[in-house]
């Protein structure tokens, strides 16, 4: 079964974070993608994305306890991908070679280490491939164009 990782922005939409006018449709689309993937893929939330989600939830007005509960629920629902020393070293190489932000590189590196084939992200370069992981913006392209499971 294909392994698919989530970036923090997609997790934020799944959590219902609605801060600007166009977030509502993105929440609906992200949730539809999740429903479509259910039973068709193994879903992964890298530790970095869960940490970023916690911060986004706080900025959106969620209490610390509420944000913690949401992050723990996502961690329980999706498989995890930890960030260890090797993941960091790989991410640093990615930053140097492709000029990504460190936090994005950590997410992409953790997804690769977890054996993911796809990383769902709204803000990384759609179509970028690194160590067998393809970045896909699920809010911009139809699912059937990137998932054949």
Within-domain flag for 51: yes
45: CATH:
3.40.50.1010
Instruction: Note the pLDDT of residue 98.
Output: 94
Instruction: Note the pLDDT of residue 144.
Output: 66
Q: Exposure string (b/e) for 18-42, b if CB count within 10 Å is 16 or more?
A: eeeeebeebbebbeebbeebeeebe
Instruction: Note the pLDDT of residue 146.
Output: 63
Strands 79-81 and 118-120, bridge-based pairing: unpaired
Instruction: Note the pLDDT of residue 71.
Output: 97
Within-domain flag for 148: no
Within-domain flag for 43: yes
pLDDT along the chain (149 residues), means of 10: 95 93 92 91 95 96 97 92 92 95 96 96 94 94 64
Query: For the whole model, what pTM was predicted?
Result: 0.93
Domain that holds residue 61: 2-142
- Domain count within the chain: 1
Within-domain flag for 8: yes
């Amino acid at each position: 079964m294909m392994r698919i990782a989530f970036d923090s922005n997609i997790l934020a939409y799944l959590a219902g974070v609605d801060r600007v006018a166009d977030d509502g449709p993105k929440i609906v689309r992200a949730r539809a993608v999740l429903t479509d993937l259910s039973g068709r893929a193994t879903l992964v939330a890298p530790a970095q994305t869960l940490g970023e989600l916690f911060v986004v939830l706080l900025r959106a007005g969620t209490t610390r306890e509420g944000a913690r509960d949401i992050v723990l629920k996502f961690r329980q629902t999706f498989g995890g991908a930890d960030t260890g020393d090797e993941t960091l070293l790989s991410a640093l190489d990615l930053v140097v070679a492709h000029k990504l932000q460190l936090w994005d590189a950590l997410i992409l590196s953790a997804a690769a280490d977890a054996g993911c084939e796809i990383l769902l992200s709204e803000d990384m370069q759609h179509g970028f491939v690194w160590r067998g992981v393809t970045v896909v913006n699920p809010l911009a392209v139809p699912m059937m164009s990137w998932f054949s499971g």
